[in-house]
Structure 1
Amino acid sequence: MEDQNYQFKNVIQLDGAESSKKFMASVFLWMFIALGISAGLAYWFANDYTLLSYLVDPLTGGTSLLGKIAMFAPLGFVLLMSYGFQKLPYGVLIVLFTTYAAITGISLSFILLAYTASSIYGCFITASLLFGVMAIAGYTTSQDLTKMGSILIMLLIGLVIASIVNWFLKSDQLDYILSFIGVVIFVGLTAYDVQKLKKISYSANELGEVQMSKLSIIGALTLYLDFINLFLYLLRLFGRRK
Structure 2
Amino acid sequence: MADYNPYKDYSYKNAYDDGMEKDIMDGYDEPYEDSGANIIDLNSILVRAFIFMVIALGVTAFVAMYVASDMNMVIRLYSGYNYIILIVVEFAMVFLTQYAVNKKNLPLAIIGFFGYSVATGIMFSVIFVVFEIGSIANAFFITAALFLLMAVYGIITKRDMDQIGDYAIMALLGIIVVSFLNMFVFKSSGLDWIVSAVTVVIFVCLTAYDTWKLKKMSALKGADKETKLVLGVYGAMELYLDFINIFLKILRFVGRARD
- Whether TM-score is above 0.5 comes out as yes
User: Match of 2:199, as an amino acid?
Assistant: G
2:234 is aligned with 1:218? yes
Structure 2, gaps ≥5 residues long: 1-33
The CA RMSD measured in Å over matched residues stands at 2.1
Aligned pairs for 1:83-94 (under 5 A) are: 83-87=99-103, 89-94=105-110
Distance across 2 between alignment mates of 1:228 and 1:116 = 18
CA deviation string 1:51-105 (max 9, x = no partner): 324313xxxxxx3322332234212211232244222521111111111100000
Which structure would you say has the larger Rg?
1
Q: Using a 3 Å threshold, how does the CA distance of structure 1 residues 240 and 50 change in structure 2: closer, same or farther?
A: closer
Normalising by structure 1, we get a TM-score of: 0.85
**Aligned with residue 66 of structure 1, among 60, 74, 82:** 82
Distance across 2 between alignment mates of 1:72 and 1:91 = 22
**Aligned with residue 175 of structure 2, among 159, 168, 174:** 159
> Which residue in 2 is equivalent to 1:179?
196
Moved more, 83-92 or 231-240: 83-92
Contact 1:20 1:198 in 2 (8 A): no
Distance across 2 between alignment mates of 1:72 and 1:177 = 28
Whichever structure has more helix as a proportion of its residues is 1
Instruction: Identify which of structures 1 and 2 has the higher relative contact order when contacts are C-alpha pairs closer than 8 Å and 6+ apart.
Output: 2
Distance across 1 between alignment mates of 2:40 and 2:157 = 19
Distance across 2 between alignment mates of 1:146 and 1:135 = 15
Q: Using a 3 Å threshold, how does the CA distance of structure 1 residues 209 and 141 change in structure 2: closer, same or farther?
A: same
2:83 is aligned with 1:40? no
Equivalent pairs: percent with the same residue?
35
Shift of 1:18: 6.6
Distance across 1 between alignment mates of 2:45 and 2:95 = 23
User: Match of 2:58, as an amino acid?
Assistant: G
Contact 2:42 2:48 in 1 (8 A): no
Normalising by structure 2, we get a TM-score of: 0.80
Contact 2:57 2:240 in 1 (8 A): yes
> Which residue in 2 is equivalent to 1:59?
none
How many residues align? The count is 224
Contact 2:63 2:118 in 1 (8 A): yes
Structure 1, gaps ≥5 residues long: 1-11, 57-62
